[in-house]
Amino acid sequence: MNASPENTPAAPASIDLDQPELYLNRELAALEFNFRVLAQASDPDMPLLERLRFLCITNTNLDEFFEVRVAALRHHFAFGDSIPGPDHMPAGEVLERIRERSLALTSQQYAVWQNELLPALAREGIRFINRRQWNDKQHRWLKGYFQNEILPVLSPLGLDPAHPFPRILNKSLNLAVTLDGHDAFGREGHMALVRAPRSLPRIIRLPEEVSGSRHDFVFLSGLLNHFADDMFPGFRVKGSYQFRVTRNSELMVDEDEVENLASALSEELAGRGYAKPVRLEIASNCPKGITDLLTANFGLGEHDVYRCDGPVNINRVIAIHDMIDRPDLKFSKFVPRLAPALTQHLSIFDGLKQQDILLHQPYDAFQTVIELLRQAANDPQVLAIKQTLYRVGIESPLIDLLVQAARNGKDVTVVVELRARFDEAANIELATRLQEVGVQVVYGVVGHKTHAKMLLIVRREDDGLRRYAHLSTGNYHTGTSKQYTDLALITVQPEIGEDMHNIFQQLSGLGQVSRLKRLLQSPFTLHEGVIKRIEREIEHVRAGRTGRIIARMNALNEPSVVKALYRASMAGVEIDLIVRGGCTLRPDLPGISEHIRVRSVVGRFLEHSRVYWFANGGDAELFCSSADWMERNLKHRVEVAFPILDPHLAARVYDEALLNYLRDNTQAWRLEADGRYSRITPGERPPHSAQKALLGQLD
């Protein structure tokens, strides 16, 4: 499951760090991550239902890749305004390479589904029964189910001049049906479309008394295909073929030209499901004539068609993960740690006066953050609460607590980022709810998404006002806190609290921030701060000291950071990068990056933590951050990097989030100079999984 090789440059006589051969393509690097995820679906050591989940993740990831990245590339290519990245690959060539790799990924997805997961599930008594396998009893029940539960909801559409090709919703399940015969008005039938309403379940479980098994399932698409005749009385159905269209999901709002961003986004959201198509998925047996008709109506070409050897909506099988009570086929449950203050039944505020709190989620409970806000909402000494919200979920208990705090007379200010992709509608709804109870809601900064994760509590105490701060690498979302690895700090360090106060003042009042004492903030000081610290390691090497950098993030593509890392490697600085997703830096280039190693770790939890560690000649600096080393994060968003000042907590982050992951030899992949990823194996060393090691600490 490796990337197709790209030309690996030889060490040039005169090193020009702008030469395109030194950079991997950003879009292709991001796409390759899905091959590493798909490898988990093929891993026999993974619990079976979790392997199924990994397969579905690759499918939803690919959907989003087309909805956002491919859509943007096609838009710029069509209008001739695409600007090549540092690799100088033209947009047309990038699109061709994306198709090549997407075809390979799609082929492997269905091969894993058909050849590995379906047989393995069947051996465990979990069957997806296709229509050729139905016995008479099953067929009778399914026919009754179709007629009673499905057919009344459907509105088949015969195509003719009075019934033109309809608008097809983004990623919805549809059938193209070819007909033979004459309609009720004597006209010859040709073709019809059937839209599967989203109110219908995509996976149907057969009753045990009908099937003889507790876990027999059929796809809705299979029922629609098999009973298509019932939808078109008087016709003979010659063929029915499922298809799904993927559309551009970027919201096109000029923030500088609108007076009310929330209102403008609400209007855009209404049309998102019918934006410009970018991909057509269709059954592998669909005839060319039907495919041509569909592509013509969607304004697509043959190069936009992806044929599926199975259900076009394969990601829907994720539903059975929760439908089946088989703990032996899932990851074992665990109980995350509570902060010492909670286990000792102390006020978190009292506990923080003794020591900062570090949370390494999901191993440490997000409940600590909820409890911090609950105590703040009900504490008469708390005067003000300020928080940023990027992704939180409309049913979040944090929203209830912010509402409660406002009703209790606290001054509550919330910075809601409306442009959080795919969470825009939820964020507009929660912003409205907060405003209704008197919370001051700020919609971030025009042109710069507020991606920083910050919570600041101002409390009156005997010696004056004190600020309690929570900063995190991840979102305030109770669901993802159980599935993503993230690091968070709760502290009363005065300089950190003062810096956060100044940033919140900037976000609400839009005034300039005086120089921050501890935090690094983009788009102002974070990018510069990272570059300076990389260059500082170069100076340490030149002075005869050891230079060392370890950094962990989701993606790396900012050109000036890559060049700084190249310069550091050329100077002799040893660099280890743990980059979960796309990385445009090429490691191991002779004379350029031979001191740089890049690895990606893929496991049970989505790796989401961002940590930057600089040896600094023995006086090490460690930052956690909301920002990846990407151009958008460092230059076009509001982000924060925060230091871990407590030496014991800094050592814990270094050990758990960095060294632990550099030791991983079971779920880690090494990026080669040619753009390929190779899986790291234990060899003669004892096997070590970073995530399992951290889970083991909970036993």
In this prediction, residues 661-678 reach a mean pLDDT of 96
Q: In the block, which residue shows the tokens 């001054």?
A: 411
E strand map for 492-626: 520-522, 548-553, 574-579, 596-601, 606-607, 611-614, 621-625
pLDDT of residue 418: 72
518-536 average pLDDT score: 97
- pLDDT at site 270: 56
Work out the average pLDDT over 536-552: 97
Tell me, yes or no, whether 74 lies in a domain.
yes
Question: Considering 107, 133, 162, which residue would you say is the last residue of a domain?
Answer: 107
User: How many Cβ atoms are within 10 Å of 236's Cβ, its own excluded?
Assistant: 11
Q: 629: helix, coil or strand?
A: strand
Q: In the 3-class helix/strand/coil scheme, how is 300-351 assigned residue by residue?
A: CCHHHEEEECCCCCHHHHHHHHHHCCCHHHCCCCCCCECCHHHHCCCCHHHH
- 503 and 391, same structural domain? yes
* Over residues 244-273, mean pLDDT: 59
Is residue 557 located within the same domain as residue 650?
Answer: yes
Q: What angle do CA 442, 448, 452 make, to 5 degrees?
A: 70
Rounded to whole angstroms, the maximal C-alpha distance in the chain is 92
Any domain includes 301 = yes
**Whether residue 188 is found in the same domain as residue 246:** yes
Q: How confident is the model at residue 158 (pLDDT cuts 50, 70, 90)?
A: confident
pLDDT (mean) for 40-44: 96
Res 122: pLDDT: 96
Higher pLDDT, 570 or 190: 570
**Quick one: 148 and 233 in the same domain?**
yes
For residue 393, what pLDDT is reported?
Answer: 74
Mean pLDDT over residues 595-622, rounded?
A: 97
Structural domain contains residue 64: yes
pLDDT tens sequence across 617-633: 999 999 999 999 999 99
Classify 460 as helix, strand or coil: strand
Inter-CA distances, 54 with 36, 49, 125, 538, Å: 10, 9, 20, 41
Give the pLDDT score at 402. Answer: 94
In this structure, the answer to whether residues 173 and 268 fall within a common structural domain is: yes
Q: How far apart are the first and last CA of the chain?
A: 34
Task: Choose one of 472, 500, 515: the last residue of a domain.
Answer: 515
- Alpha carbons 518 and 454: distance in angstroms, whole number: 14
357 vs 253, which has greater pLDDT?
357
Helices 26-41 & 91-111 angle (0-180, nearest 10): 0
684 pLDDT above the threshold of 80: yes
Better pLDDT: 249 or 364: 364
Q: State the average pLDDT over residues 480-492.
A: 95
Strand partners, 349: none
- Give residue 165's pLDDT: 84
- Top pLDDT among 271 and 146 is at 146
What is the span of the domain harbouring residue 684?
Answer: 521-696
DSSP state of 696: H
Q: Are residues 526 and 510 in the same domain?
A: no
Residue 235 lies in a domain: yes
Do 587 and 626 share a structural domain?
Answer: yes
Question: What is the CATH number for 221?
Answer: 3.30.1840.10
Do 656 and 572 belong together in one domain? yes
Q: Which two tokens stand for residue 69?
A: 């990245």
Within-domain flag for 315: yes
- The number of angstroms, rounded, from the C-alpha of 164 to the middle of its chain's C-alpha atoms is 37
**Residues designated as active site:** 451
Residue 302 is predicted with a pLDDT of 94
577 phi/psi in degrees, rounded to 5: -115, 130
Segment (H or E) for 454: strand 453-461
281 forms bridges with which residues in the sheet? Answer: 244, 306
Q: What does pTM read for this prediction? A: 0.92
Asked if 253 and 261 count as a contact pair (C-beta separation under 8 A), the reply is yes
DSSP 8-state class, residue 132: G
Contact between 596 and 565 (Cβ < 8 Å): yes
Shortest CA distance to 673 belongs to which of 591, 552, 567, 555? 591
Q: What is the DSSP string of 485-509?
A: EEEEEEE--HHHHHHHHHHHHHHHH
- Amino acid 87 reads D
Can you name the residues that pair with 239 across neighbouring β-strands?
178
Q: Point out the least confidently predicted range of 103-107, 122-126, 252-256, 484-488.
A: 252-256
In this predicted structure, what is the pLDDT of residue 259? 45
Strand 449-450, strand 548-553: pairing:
unpaired
Of 26-30, 52-56, 249-253, 635-639, minimum mean pLDDT range: 249-253
Shared domain check, 451 and 354: yes
Q: How many domains in the chain?
A: 4
Q: Phi then psi for 567, rounded to 5 degrees?
A: -60, -40
Label the pairing between strands 357-361 and 305-308: unpaired
Averaged confidence pLDDT in the chain: 90
Choose the weakest-confidence range: 248-257, 311-320, 520-529. Answer: 248-257
Alpha carbon distance 232, 67 (integer Å): 34
Q: Does 544 lie in the same domain as 511?
A: no
Give residue-wise pLDDT tens across range 329-348: 999 999 999 988 888 878 99
Residue 585 reports pLDDT greater than 70? yes
pLDDT at residue 621, as a whole number: 98
CATH code for position 88 = 1.20.58.310
Query: In this model, does residue 249 exceed pLDDT 90?
Result: no
Q: Considering the domain boundaries, does residue 71 fall inside one? A: yes
Query: Which of the four pLDDT bands, split at 50, 70 and 90, describes residue 662?
Result: very high
Q: What SS3 state is found at 469?
A: strand
Could you tell me if residue 8 is inside a domain?
Answer: no
Question: H-helix or E-strand containing 157?
Answer: strand 157-158
Residue 495 and residue 561 in one domain: no
Whether 5 is covered by a domain: the verdict is: no
Q: Specify whether the CB–CB gap between 374 and 450 falls below 8 A.
A: no
In this predicted structure, the answer to whether residue 12 has a pLDDT above a threshold of 50 is no
Structure tokens at 10: 């030889």
Least confident of 77-81, 305-309, 349-353, 543-547: 77-81
Residues 638, 452: Cα–Cα separation, whole Å: 6
Pair (510, 525) in one structural domain: no
User: Can you tell me which residue has the tokens 């392997």?
Assistant: 51
Distance, in Å, from the CA atom of 584 to the CA atom of 22, rounded to the nearest integer, reads 9
Tell me, rounded to whole angstroms, the distance of Cα 249 from its chain centroid: 15
Last residue of a domain, one of 515, 539, 554: 515
Q: How many residues are listed for the chain in this entry?
A: 699
pLDDT tens sequence across 176-221: 999 887 665 555 557 899 999 989 999 999 999 999 899 999 999 9
Task: Give the CA count within 13 Å in the CB-facing half-sphere of 33.
Answer: 27
